[in-house]
Structure 1
Amino acid sequence: ELDAALVAIHGTGLNMRGDIVASRSWPLGAIAEDLRRVASQTPMTAKEFTRINRAFGELHADALEAVCSDAGVQPDLAVLHGQTVFHAPPLSWQLIDPWPTATRLRCRVRYDLRSANIASGGQGAPITPLADFMLFASPDEPCIVVNLGGFVNATLLPRRCDSIDLIRGYDICACNHVLDHLARTRLHAAFDRDGMAASAGQCDEGICARIENAIQPSPTSHARPRSLGTGDEAIRIIEMTSHLRAEDACRTAVEAIARCIARTLCSETNASAPTPHSIPLLIAGGSARNRALHTALTSHWNGPVRTTNESHGIPVGMREAAAMAILGACADDGVRYTLPSVTGARSVVMESALIENGNTNFPDFRAV
């Protein structure tokens, strides 16, 4: 699905906050298989690349037009991340044609959000930690935002009153790339809805250890953050679980991912793995709906584990959409949204590409 959110931005610069006014998840339809083909490096003609790029851009315009129409709002800025079909810095491609959105919404459009940082010597990922700080940082205690998307990425947030220089963020391991591949090949479904199959399975400890070893991050220094982008682990993991029942394969993969997350975060928060830490985890992304994964995380982390919907009223599927709106508004305000402590380099030019347009007189609803 394509997640679109209409976000009201209040304030400017580092003092801004965002409230979701309306949101919608839009089915990808046939374009989903096209995007998988591109991401898997399937050879195709320039015409095919161009067709997929345009179709994906039209789909964005459809979704944004619908969410704005439903809310009765004309936005003055749209922010498009696109689909990451390749990421191995210094090479990265977030596929999207922004022009259908610009022409149909008649608003300014920001896109290509990572290239400036990569060209400046950074990893170009993760890019959401500053937005996480604005959306989720607590005045009272640190917390960790864990996005359970194609990859697991984590943002370690200081208190809201602390310096943004204390924010840390990195990718941890593959998540939906693995779980959805398992669902397609073993359950013959797009994904394991609510983790029902995994909840009905048993964990194979031997295979679980092998999967965790395959997906766990290699040691990195803070000067060179970890940035992932292929999901090649999925194919290897499918092969590891081939002799297991489908439900057991799903449960084993979920357990391995949860253990990898907990172990990595324990290490990063100076706890002695596998002893869990008490810092709250706020989970978002598609697999935050996977009850088996939520349960596994809770069992390996003795602090509270809550969804972003439970903690801040932001639906788990809309965290990234809301974050993109924040990043676009930051760029409008002249704030570089990538953090050197996260991506490894400071962007030397203003970030994101911009299509100018005429409708800029709606300050209460500045970004989608």
Structure 2
Amino acid sequence: MAEDLFIGLMSGTSLDGVDGVLADFTGGHIAVKAHATAHFPVALRAELLALNLPHGDDELHRAALAGNGLARIYASVVQQLLADTGLPPSAVRAIGAHGQTVRHRPGEFDETGYTLQINNPAALAEWTGIDVVADFRSRDVAAGGQGAPLVPAFHRALFGHPDHAVAVLNIGGIANLSLLPATRAARQTVLGFDCGPGNALMDHWCQSHIGEPFDRGGQWGASGEVLPELLARLIGSPYFGKAPPKSTGRDLFNPAWLATHLGAASDAAPVDVQATLAELTASTCAADVLRHGNESKELIVCGGGALNDHLMARLRALLPGLEVVCSSERGLPPQQVEAAAFAWLARAAIRREQGNLASVTGARGGRVLGGIYPA
């Protein structure tokens, strides 16, 4: 049987760089054959952060050049994956390239709204010699959906258990939850939505106050004290009370949002604010699991947040009835899961299979997601 190989590329809300995987779907199984990463140059990361906010001059020009810069990094990750496996470009059926989300406003303004991922998939196809699938979210938005999260269908394929319900929590810059019924259950409705901030606010606070891009292992946050009044103000944001389907991003949960809620805590010790931001992520995610996924027997955590020992400890404390595990204990390291999901979505697009789940996004039905750019 010929190998069924796809590459997935993901640069998430954390803006820490690109994760890429070369995945083999031969026989319907999912196996990652190689993983490569690349960090963003400081100037590109700063530009992508700036483009997240609706201000600045010549945004169209700057976004186009940022797309070129991102595509170059994507191409370098693809070349590394090919070099590590000794494969020629012709061995890979397609690349799934998510792009970098800079605006996400589904359903707003004109009842359709939009979602915008900076990318240059045409250049990526040109530079790699491999077909590229990109712009996965727009079709779901056009069909009345949130365009996010798109990973629950992949989570079901990868982590679904025949005999019990499973919850999967991806903690990137934003945290999103997938609720998977037992695969042998009569009721097969998968739910999923964005819980709220994951690492984005913690990373910002870390960078601003200790000069580190993130809180390694959560050690800094673990050494502080949670500020109850600040936590209550943050949790009081209307987003947390909204019923799914719902999705969010840096459009809402950004440094300006945090600044408006700090109030008297602006004079607090920075380490205590960090502890509070960690508790915000842990408590809102745990509350969503309890509210919507109380049939689940285990919570599988992936994304960069799975490497935050303090965050994992708080999830275990808040969810004593569940087995809380890192995704590496269920077959795939946490920083490979989302990239593998976009390899899977690229395969679905090439096969003209639906990539979304209407029960998750609220779209009018299943849709083939992504535009295809032939090499």
TM-score, normalised relative to structure 2: 0.86
**Partner of 1:29 in structure 2?**
41
C-alpha separation between the residues in 2 aligned to 1:78 and 1:164?
33
2:105 is aligned, of 75, 84, 88, to 88
Q: Pairwise mapping of residues 229-248 of structure 1 onto structure 2 (< 5 A)?
A: 229-235=249-255, 236-238=257-259, 240=262, 241-248=265-272
C-alpha displacement of 1:107: 1.4
C-alpha displacement of 1:117: 1.1
Give CA-to-partner distance per residue, 1:171-221, whole Å, 9 cap, x none: 11112221111112222221112212112212122222222223752232x
**Partner of 1:130 in structure 2?**
153
Q: Comparing 108-117 with 234-243, which one deviates more in the overlay? A: 234-243
C-alpha separation between the residues in 1 aligned to 2:55 and 2:211?
22
Q: Comparing 225-234 with 246-255, which one deviates more in the overlay? A: 225-234
Cα 1:194–1:176 shift into 2, 3 Å: same
Q: Give structure 2 stretches of 5+ with no counterpart.
A: 1-16, 107-112
**Partner of 1:268 in structure 2?**
292
Identical columns (%): 26
Whether the aligned pair in 1 keeps the contact of 2:125 and 2:131 (CA below 8 Å) is: yes
- Over the aligned positions, Cα root-mean-square deviation in angstroms equals 1.9
Q: Pairwise mapping of residues 157-196 of structure 1 onto structure 2 (< 5 A)?
A: 157-162=180-185, 165-196=188-219
C-alpha displacement of 1:342: 0.8
The residue identity in structure 1 corresponding to 2:184 is: C
Whether the aligned pair in 2 keeps the contact of 1:79 and 1:324 (CA below 8 Å) is: yes
C-alpha displacement of 1:321: 0.1
C-alpha separation between the residues in 1 aligned to 2:252 and 2:242?
19
**Partner of 2:109 in structure 1?**
none
The residue identity in structure 2 corresponding to 1:130 is: A
How many aligned positions are there?
343
Structure 2 residue 352 is the aligned partner of structure 1 residue 331? no
The residue identity in structure 2 corresponding to 1:227 is: S
Give CA-to-partner distance per residue, 1:58-89, whole Å, 9 cap, x none: 11111111122111123221000011100011
Cα 1:290–1:349 shift into 2, 3 Å: closer
Structure 2 residue 328 is the aligned partner of structure 1 residue 309? yes
Whether the aligned pair in 2 keeps the contact of 1:216 and 1:260 (CA below 8 Å) is: no
Give CA-to-partner distance per residue, 1:81-119, whole Å, 9 cap, x none: 011100011211011101232122211110010111111
Whether the aligned pair in 1 keeps the contact of 2:358 and 2:366 (CA below 8 Å) is: no
Whether the aligned pair in 2 keeps the contact of 1:184 and 1:191 (CA below 8 Å) is: yes
**Partner of 1:150 in structure 2?**
173
2:315 is aligned, of 297, 309, 318, to 297
Whether the aligned pair in 1 keeps the contact of 2:355 and 2:369 (CA below 8 Å) is: yes
Whether the aligned pair in 1 keeps the contact of 2:166 and 2:299 (CA below 8 Å) is: yes
2:87 is aligned, of 64, 70, 73, to 73
Q: Give structure 1 stretches of 5+ with no counterpart.
A: 272-276, 358-368
Whether the aligned pair in 1 keeps the contact of 2:356 and 2:368 (CA below 8 Å) is: no
Q: Comparing 20-29 with 339-348, which one deviates more in the overlay? A: 339-348
Cα 1:65–1:305 shift into 2, 3 Å: same
Give CA-to-partner distance per residue, 1:138-182, whole Å, 9 cap, x none: 122111110101111000011233478411111111122211111
C-alpha separation between the residues in 2 aligned to 1:231 and 1:317?
24
TM-score, normalised relative to structure 1: 0.88
C-alpha separation between the residues in 2 aligned to 1:22 and 1:317?
12
C-alpha separation between the residues in 2 aligned to 1:103 and 1:162?
45
C-alpha separation between the residues in 2 aligned to 1:234 and 1:293?
20
Whether the aligned pair in 2 keeps the contact of 1:131 and 1:323 (CA below 8 Å) is: yes
Structure 2 residue 288 is the aligned partner of structure 1 residue 288? no
The residue identity in structure 2 corresponding to 1:237 is: L
Q: Pairwise mapping of residues 252-267 of structure 1 onto structure 2 (< 5 A)?
A: 252-267=276-291
C-alpha separation between the residues in 2 aligned to 1:285 and 1:190?
16
1:39 is aligned, of 47, 52, 73, to 52
